[in-house]
Amino acid sequence: MTETADDQDAQVPDDGRAVQVLLDDWARFVWWGTDGDVDRVATADGQVLTWATVDACRRHARQAGWSAAPTGPSADVAAEDTVDGRSVQTWLNRPGMPLDPVAGLTLWNLQWDLVATRTGAYPPLNSVQARCHRKLTVANIPWLAGVDTYRPRWTAAELRCLRAALGTAVHTVRAALRPESRT
């Protein structure tokens, strides 16, 4: 992470981008990107920096001289620049409903990156957690497993694990980004 002169205690990814996070009934933007082998979010004084709009996030990054990852021509927020945790929340509250693997994976990954931002490393996974994460990854990127499409089938133990992991992800993201706790 790079420490910037404009934000005395700011820690920012080497190459970042504005990412919208949707949870509960709110939306916030974070500066999220790569820092070597770990993805992180921008922080200052140990707190995740958040903004109410994509323009405010990008303006702050530009004014602070943060390095932006290459992006497309659109100034709008692209789908790949959005973590929509609302469908995960719905899935957690309605057993039997199918999980959106894109929403599940991106929310879980954001939670990991929030932990990595604080600790410098991803949290360790047990074998069931690793299997669940791998299944979500392949559902999003099926060519990794040499298939065109992949729809995960979950065992009862995997569903319990997935519910626990994504429940933790919702709480972690909510605590770190909740609008009333940030400017």
d(CA 83, CA 143): 22
Decide: 39 and 116 in contact? Cβ < 8 Å: yes
- Residue 183 is predicted with a pLDDT of 44
> 78-130 pLDDT, tens per residue?
555 899 999 999 999 998 899 999 999 999 999 999 998 888 888 899 999 99
Between 73 and 60, whose confidence is greater?
Answer: 60
> 108-119 pLDDT, tens per residue?
999 999 998 888
Three-state SS letters, the chain: CEECCCCCCEEECCEEEEEEEEECCEEEEEEEEEECCEEEECEECCEECCECCHHHHHHHHHHHCCCECCCCCCCCCCHHHEEECHHHHHHHHCCCCCCCHHHHHHHHHHHHHHHHHHHCCCCCCCHHHHHHHHHHHHHHCHHHHCCCCCCCCCCHHHHHHHHHHHHHHHHHHHHHHCHHHCC
Q: Which of 81, 86, 95, 82 is nearest to 162 (CA)?
A: 95
pTM to 2 decimal places: 0.86
Look at residue 16 and tell me whether its pLDDT is greater than 50: yes
> Residues near 44 by Cβ (< 8 Å), separated by ≥ 6?
7, 8, 9, 10, 11
Look at residue 166 and tell me whether its pLDDT is greater than 70: yes
User: Which residues are paired to 29 by β-bridges?
Assistant: 20, 51
Look at residue 72 and tell me whether its pLDDT is greater than 60: no
Decide: 15 and 21 in contact? Cβ < 8 Å: no
- Residue 1 is predicted with a pLDDT of 42
Look at residue 73 and tell me whether its pLDDT is greater than 90: no
d(CA 143, CA 156): 26
Q: What percent of the chain has pLDDT over 70?
A: 87
For the chain, domain boundaries:
2-181
